[in-house]
Amino acid sequence: MANQEFFLGIDCGTQGTKAIILDALSGEVLGLGAAPHTMISGANGRREQDASQWLEAFAIATRRALLAADVDGQAIVGIGVSGQQHGLVLLDEQGQVLRPAKLWCDTETSAENDRLLKHLGDEKGSLERLGVVIAPGYTVSKLLWTKEQHPTVFARIARILLPHDYLNFWLTGRSCSEYGDASGTGYFNVRTRQWDLQLLRDIDPSGRLQAAVPELIDAHAAVGTILPAIAEQLGINPKALVSSGGGDNMMGAIGTGNIQPGAITMSLGSSGTVYAYADQPTVSPDASVATFCSSSGGWLPLICTMNLTNATGVIRELFDLDIECFNALVAQAPIGAEGVCVLPFLNGERVPALPHATGSVLGLTMTNLTRANLCRAVVEGTTFGLRYGLDLLRQNGLQSRSICLIGGGSKSPQWRQIVADIMNTPVICTEQSEAAALGAAIQAAWCKSWANGHEDSLADLCERCVQLDLASETLPIAENVVASQQAYERYQQHVANL
């Protein structure tokens, strides 16, 4: 095994860090490891994490993956990092973290986002200037919030990093960012692929923020070699190359082979996302469609809902159900849950754009208030949000023959059928459900190949390493499609009433 080359893919998410070991030659995933994170939450919408937890989880997940793969860490020649998007990590001159990282699901800065949006000339102005409409949760409002709420912290800012940029900085000592993850900051122009430094000067005329943004690099470029001390701590090869990495959606696209037009990836994670590759930055006039850059050299028009398995999880906890019991109850209830409709906006919502909304259960009667109906209604409600988003992407010219499903929810056959029926499109899963970690490992292999003079294209690597799970393929059923459409129209009516 001495001459074999393996790649480590890391996905640092909201709930935990996942690590996978990939043999890029055979395309085989050899081992998986994971470690959990905890969240700092407040009733005012605060959602933060201590960045030191990520480093600890990174090391634990890596060790577990190496152990599961039965691979010597010295055989790891490349590392790729996927991270939750939009999070804000602030460092001082010494490279120390100044305060807990504000996350994508943090809505404490909604008021600052509203003011910044007004400053940009509302949705139209934001689209014209940046190619995206800044939303609560994007990084830019977190900067304004820090300046106003924590002036002493603000005065010490030397580096502004996204979660995956911070992990790359820890690994290599180099501060940089790639276009995909940078697209979600709100101070990046997705058409020109440049920072909008003027917007940062508007927030802070002293120029401190402008000086703190990382250098931008191409997706195929390596950040650098791992630092010797970190290599030793992780037990891996000190010559390992660290790739540009990217946001979890960008890495999920690579991990599902979604690197050319025509494919759609739908992620059923804590949040729900739907995205597709584009080779041009065709910016949708609809504010809900984020035309981010991809981490494979193109663009990735994307919609994101703030509530998915976090909403189904709350119902599961309420009834004290494990996944099997929950899925069985979902299957028991009819399509449309006998009129019970859950608007699952527990975190506020981005698509449809209702940042201040709360969750609600509608249509209850003496006869339909059952556990089964509530379980089904929460799955349908979260999936209707994704249908709304898919329709927006389709209006923007997106073609799709099938949908590739990833994320925790995709493991449920019941949920797969509900998605196929509501979208009226066949769905299939990849064999590797940790698509973001896989994408990060594939990108690391691509960076290594680029450094070696291009022996493999990204398409070659995806072809080898991304396998579809044929057993998971689920086709829409004609009568279910009709019933699902009726339930969807009822959902839309309830949303309109909000």
DSSP state of 214: P
220-230 average pLDDT score:
97
How far from chain centre, in Å, is Cα 125?
A: 26
Q: Residue 115: how many CB atoms within 10 A of its CB?
A: 13
Give the list of residues 6+ apart from residue 326 with CB closer than 8 angstroms, or none. 312, 315, 316, 319, 375
pLDDT of residue 143: 98
Q: Where are the domains of the chain?
A: 6-247
Check whether domain 6-247 has CATH 3.30.420.40, yes or no: yes
Q: Please, what is the average pLDDT of the chain?
A: 95
By C-alpha distance, which of 464, 392, 397, 447 is closest to 423? 392
Higher per-residue confidence, 349 vs 414? 414
Q: Which residue in this structure is represented by tokens 């910016």?
A: 283
pLDDT in tens, 286-337: 989 999 999 999 999 999 998 999 999 999 999 999 999 999 999 999 999 9
Band (396; pLDDT cuts 50, 70, 90): confident
> Is 166 a residue whose pLDDT tops 50?
yes
Give per-residue burial for 368-393: e unless 16+ CB within 10 Å, then b: beebbbbbbbbbbbbbbbbbbbbebb
| Active-site residue set | 248
How far from chain centre, in Å, is Cα 420?
A: 22
By C-alpha distance, which of 152, 77, 84 is closest to 447? 77
Band (401; pLDDT cuts 50, 70, 90): confident
pLDDT in tens, 467-480: 999 999 999 999 99
Distance CA 321, CA 258 (A): 34
pLDDT of residue 25: 94
* Helices first, then strands: H and E counts in the chain: 18, 25
DSSP state of 227: P
> Is 2 a residue whose pLDDT tops 50?
no
62-78 average pLDDT score:
97
Distance CA 65, CA 31 (A): 5
This prediction has a pTM of 0.93
pLDDT of residue 455: 77
pLDDT of residue 452: 86
| Helical pair 478-497 and 413-423, crossing angle rounded to 10 deg | 80
Distance CA 355, CA 284 (A): 20
C-beta separation of 21 from 71 below 8 A: yes
Band (454; pLDDT cuts 50, 70, 90): confident
Q: Which residue in this structure is represented by tokens 């002493």?
A: 152
By C-alpha distance, which of 11, 344, 333 is closest to 167? 11
Is the bond leading into 301 cis (omega within 30 degrees of zero)? Answer: no
